[in-house]
Structure 1
Amino acid sequence: MLFGNSHASIKQHNLQPELSISELHSFLKNNHTKSNYWPAIMKCLALALLLCAQLSLLHGACLKFMQESDATECVDPRDGTRHPIGSWWRNSECQDCDCNGCCDAEFIKPTSYEEGCIMEFDKKNCEYKVFKKEDPTYSCKIYEAVGK
């Protein structure tokens, strides 16, 4: 049991086993230094924080769509392009798609590159480009990047 002998501790403080939020708050506020509840609550809060931090590792947004059961090809709802059943493609919004839906693609994003250069996302090729600010035809060296 997470909180030890909770009913005995609650009875000792003349509280009912079913606590309201205000009763629980008052109980914890007045007894946090004497209570064996506090370490367990802190563990739960730490776990909740850890789980929230993991959300950033999940795949980006996805859009699921249904194809007609007798369809002979898939139609991308973003740009209307047609594709063979069972295939996958990258659409005009740089999303990875199959016949069931599209998800935001993951890209390698430069984080460190030559001084005097800028980074822009090229939507036509679905990739980041790093080039000289004064001369967009000059590709800069990339030292570090993140992503898949």
Structure 2
Amino acid sequence: MKVLLCLIILCIMMTLSDGACFTTLPKLGAKGCADPHDKKLHPPASQWQSNNCMDCTCDPQSQLNCCSKHGVASVPGCKPVLDVKKCTVTFFKDDDLTEPCPIFW
């Protein structure tokens, strides 16, 4: 019964998050992957964190795969704000972006 409850909670948490991933197919003759944010070229079979908090990989065939480092839950009345230096998300009130929202998990 505990396992079922844990699975239900996990499913609910996954549906509330807005994590994102994307894949870009390589161009003919590509010799690496360009970071979608800063356009820096990375060699095949490499991994890096972009300067907008994405975990990216360039596979051996130069296919680019990037995923956000965090999912963002929807919190009514609050707006998520990304700190790109720390790669963290903080919620602030919609009508006052200087006041953090109380988050109860």
* TM-score after normalising by structure 1: 0.36
* TM-score after normalising by structure 2: 0.48
Computing the radius of gyration from Cα coordinates, the structure with the larger value is: 1
Structure number with the bigger relative contact order (C-alpha 8 A, sep ≥ 6) is: 2
**More helix per residue: 1 or 2?**
1
**More strand per residue: 1 or 2?**
2
